[in-house]
Amino acid sequence: MCRLKYILLLLCCTFFSVKAGIKHPLHVSTTEVNFNAKDKTLEISCRIFSDDFEAILAKLYKQKTDLSSPNMKTAMDELVKKYLFSHLQLKANGKAVAMNYIGFEIDHEATNIYLEVEKIPDVKSVEVNDVILYDMFDDQMSIVHVVKAKIRKSTKILYPEKKFTANF
């Protein structure tokens, strides 16, 4: 009986938290780096909660943000690109690499951002330096996956840590 009361209390708290506008208590982003051996590229995708992402873009760049507005797509592309290039860096085989911005899309409550690194003949190691949303939350967690062929290396980076190196 006591357990049932606890569960009901938890459900009520959850319901009222959602009604009060609390979106998600977890601050997390995901970054995946895939080595495409055929095209000799690193394909990078980042997934960030859209409300958090819009808030940090507005705070840092002091302008209105709306990632879902088709009328603001060009302006938002510039902000997303600027933010990602300053908050995510990669090294392949010990050398810094230049990422090309492909674009972003909204998927429900998340924003997916796509980047690419060209002319990577092979990958022996990938170092990811990820500080996405660190300038907004001191409990930020970054989930990082690095994939080569069928080998997947993953970790979680907790604020204030920044780096993960996957060796193959």
Closest to 80 measured CA to CA, from 63, 57, 47, 106: 57
**What tens-digit pLDDT sequence spans the chain (168 residues)?**
444 333 333 334 444 444 344 555 789 999 999 999 999 999 999 999 999 999 999 999 999 999 999 999 999 999 999 999 999 999 999 999 999 999 999 998 999 999 999 999 999 999 999 999 999 999 999 999 999 999 999 999 999 999 999 999
- Which pLDDT score is estimated for 25? 75
Output the pLDDT for position 12: 40
Contact in structure between 154 and 41 (CB atoms under 8 Å): no
- Number of Cβ within 10 Å of residue 115's Cβ equals 22
pTM above 0.85, yes or no: no
Bridge partners (DSSP) listed for residue 104: 113
